[in-house]
Chains A and B, each alone.
Chain A
């Protein structure tokens, strides 16, 4: 039998800018199809990671299967709720690879925003049927007509008859589901052909090993079948298969066009690669593996070190486990003089970095020291050799550098027109180069600038929000590397260089960055019994200095017989606290100080 249209199946993802209501709409769809009862569950049911609930954002794409009856016919629907934040766009593109259609959700009170544009492009690239939908029409300030027009002008998608819904009240959602059934093409596949499935996600379970998630392209998978993971050449027995509805529900078989999970007692994390092709063992000789996913390109790096050196191996295991569930970060071992053995980890952005670090700490119970993040650079040496710089201490001596290149981001910023002036100033301050500007409507515009990535990953987004009173949105893509006047700034604490604190920045801002870091170190390093000089230097030249003055008073007024035990225990406790400090020379540096390079320890809190 040939590949055929699997008429009863619909696979689609919901994509949108952050906070436009994807997860809330997913809730309503689950209710309309009767998978969950109205109002019984918490809001944003699919945001089931603790971190997602705490932050109110989606971090991981989440698939769910349901049934729906229309015109007397029973359909199987697979819906994928995706994250909206720019750092997680890799999750979105992975999700789209398992779909035939995408609901492009636009908040009718906000309009088209930066990730609306970015995600639309992803859907177009993936060749999906795009269904624009206007959300939040229950809100008084909604302006659906204008927003529909924006969708047409900016995205080139006909939107006159775009559905108008309220994911909050559920208004229009049933009609939306009907329309999705009509307009999204069913998947194409051959249930009779050998099994060919895309491994699109995985999660580690202490008792059951690695649980893998598959989208079946061709063939059928039955319980007890022997499966083969093509990329790693390994075979396992599918001891349990099932679907997500939204929790795991066992089934006896899955077939072409469907998605589900497989438990196969996979104990080795290394055997599982996201994007791999899965078939039955023995593999058919002529099986063409699926194209898989384009590997993510981490743009922001930081060092992660265990607070207690003994946790190094545990940290490696934790990173491996987490990378199963988040294929978009990378890690490899590195050593720092100040921090010992740890890992250099690459992320798609700062929020991604924060989330990974927090998930690691929670899911593994390992205390971590994180160094300040940096972007990647390229250096061409005087010997013509090109090196990729992932951390400041990789930078060779100045006289060995022929050219120093940094990544440039092409930034699309969407803003109300009154934000244009302040944004232009902000972009100029950040060494940006103007590319173009386009009006989306009389009141909104899209600005395109090329800005060095290092100037935008840290606080650019916050600044953008503040100069546009919250309305400006940003999306960016790496355009390439360009030569720039970059230097490595070394930081010395009590005359000892602390490698984990050095940073790369533009020569023009080296002094002020150096000063900011020293100021912040001065606040975070406790006073010692002696004065501690802090210095920033380029090569041997000191460009900034500060001093932490010596501690003056540290004495207990009263100590008699009954206080001895308490006092001794207090010392033990302090000693434990000190274990969280890193000793550099004779100075004890608290972990938070290693983030000083971000400039001002307060920023760090604000982001949380």
Chain B
């Protein structure tokens, strides 16, 4: 899609962010997977393993361009499946990026992994470069549901994956679960949650399955070959997850994320607090002081641009104040802690208590949010209706 041409209306992101403070968060995208899952709309590609070497070199080269501009406290390597590469290749690309940018200040370095894509050698490689947190895409502990989801692994792989991580001295790990898979009963869900809790993770991400545009699942659903999502059922699954995880000491700190106190994903907190970060790799997004951009999505096109010495940027935009304020709201409200309207005002000049007085009153009256001092957060049903709440708080400008 995105060819190697650089459109004229894309700014030089390196130049325009020149004066900004050193960037504290780094995202790295690895767009390859063993197989494409039928519900997945991420920038991930199966059957393109031959591109690993070229892509890794491009990643390292892009990292070099940001040398001196990034002072990473958190690093997150996502995908795709970042561990879908051999141990040597894994160490080479992660080590190369670390060396290019200097990871001295890194406190949290997360990598996403799929059960089955991990082995002892890879875990050793991860530890050697400095990775200290792994987010494992378990999704379910029931082979029937894993099959529905089209996952390559089985439940036993997940258990085995965690063993390998523990044996390899991976300090922190998180589990990803998918909730309300078609055909999954509430009892099935309960069993899945129990198995997860039994493994004593410090962190769990539990997502209600979403039918995204352009995925095989959505096509099947439209053709009537898969049940359409039922919000009431989804809500039952989500509420069950909140309850069971809380009982196990995993508090809900974001709509779909649960952690023991202090074990929250610091990198992801940075997104929800609307901090600055740089993303490198195909399709990676970045945000620095209200400027957002994304790289070209296709891995080969991306590598081509880097090799040609060109900018990999596909588009960029400078977000105006009302929309920046909206971004603070739509990210910040996802957190249990909510957001500080003073921060929003400092960054955008917009005082929500004035611009959205009526809406805030209405939301308060219906018990969807709480406002304590200047801190606004979801409460009660507000978590189930987050989008409705956000919708009410969209900017009023522009016709």
Contact = CB atoms under 8 A, between A and B. Distances in A.
Interface string A555-569: 111111110110110
A400 interface: no
B388 interface: yes
A565 B366 contact: no
B292 A564 contact: yes
A141 interface: no
B339 to A, nearest CB: 14
Contact of B323 (A554, A556, A561, A568): A568
Contacts of A268: none
Interface string A564-600: 1101100110110000000000100000000000000
B384 A555 contact: yes
A561 B387 contact: no
Contacts of B256: 557-558
A561 B287 contact: yes
Interface string B37-58: 0000000000000000000000
Contact of B207 (A553, A557, A565): A557
B228 interface: no
Interface stretch (B11-19, B102-110, B230-238): B230-238
A551 interface: yes
Contacts of B389: 529
A121 interface: no
B271 A568 contact: no
A575 B394 contact: yes
Interface in A462-505: none
A556 B292 contact: no
B280 interface: no
Contacts of B231: 552-554
B331 interface: yes
Contact of A558 (B207, B279, B317, B390): B207
B218 interface: no
A567 B255 CA distance: 15
B383 interface: yes
Interface in B253-296: 255-256, 268, 271, 277, 279, 283-285, 287, 292, 294
Contact of A574 (B279, B287, B366, B391): B391
Given A561-B277, A562-B279, A565-B317, A554 B387 contact: yes
Contact of A559 (B330, B366, B385, B388): B330
Contact of A553 (B234, B331, B394): B234
B27 interface: yes
Interface string B361-399: 011001010000000000001011111111100100000
A530 interface: yes
B327 A555 contact: no
B95 to A, nearest CB: 24
Contacts of B215: none
Given A561-B279, A564-B287, A565-B292, A555 B386 contact: yes
A586 B287 CA distance: 36
Contacts of B235: 552-553
B210 interface: yes
Interface string B296-331: 000000000000000000000100000100110011
A571 B390 contact: yes
A553 B18 CA distance: 43
B62 to A, nearest CB: 16
Contacts, number: 90
B331 A564 contact: yes
Contacts of A552: 231-232, 235, 384-385
Contacts of A554: 231, 384-388
B234 A565 contact: no
Nearest to A310: B399
Interface in A390-429: none
A550 to B, nearest CB: 8
Contacts of A575: 391, 394
Contacts of A567: 330
B36 interface: no
A506 B391 CA distance: 43
A562 B208 CA distance: 19
A571 B209 CA distance: 21
Interface string B237-261: 0100000000000000001100000
Most chain B CB within a 10 A radius of its CB, from A530, A557, A558: A557
B84 interface: no
Contacts of A571: 326, 330, 390-391, 394
Interface in A429-472: none
A564 B210 CA distance: 17
Contacts of B381: 529
B334 interface: yes
Contacts of B326: 568, 571
A557 B210 CA distance: 7
Interface string B163-204: 000000000000000000000000000000000000000000
Interface string A529-557: 11000000000000000000001111111
Most chain B CB within a 10 A radius of its CB, from A552, A564, A567: A564
A243 B277 CA distance: 72
Contacts of A568: 323, 326-327, 330
Interface string A319-351: 000000000000000000000000000000000
A557 B208 contact: yes
A390 B389 CA distance: 41
Contacts of B294: 562, 565
A587 to B, nearest CB: 12
Nearest to B255: A555
B354 to A, nearest CB: 20
B238 to A, nearest CB: 8
Contacts of B368: 529
A571 B386 CA distance: 12
A310 to B, nearest CB: 9
Nearest to A561: B271
30 contacts: A529-B366, A529-B381, A529-B385, A553-B384, A554-B387, A555-B383, A555-B384, A556-B210, A557-B210, A557-B255, A557-B256, A558-B207, A558-B256, A559-B255, A559-B330, A560-B268, A560-B271, A561-B287, A562-B279, A562-B284, A564-B287, A564-B327, A564-B330, A564-B331, A565-B285, A565-B294, A565-B317, A571-B326, A574-B391, A586-B362
Interface of B: 27, 207-210, 231-232, 234-235, 238, 255-256, 268, 271, 277, 279, 283-285, 287, 292, 294, 317, 323, 326-327, 330-331, 334, 362-363, 366, 368, 381, 383-391, 394
Given A529-B368, A559-B330, A564-B292, 10 more contacts: A553-B234, A555-B383, A557-B209, A558-B210, A558-B256, A559-B255, A559-B334, A564-B327, A565-B285, A571-B330
Interface of A: 529-530, 551-562, 564-565, 567-568, 571-572, 574-575, 586
The 7 closest A-B pairs by CB, nearest first: A562-B285, A553-B231, A557-B207, A555-B386, A554-B387, A561-B271, A553-B235
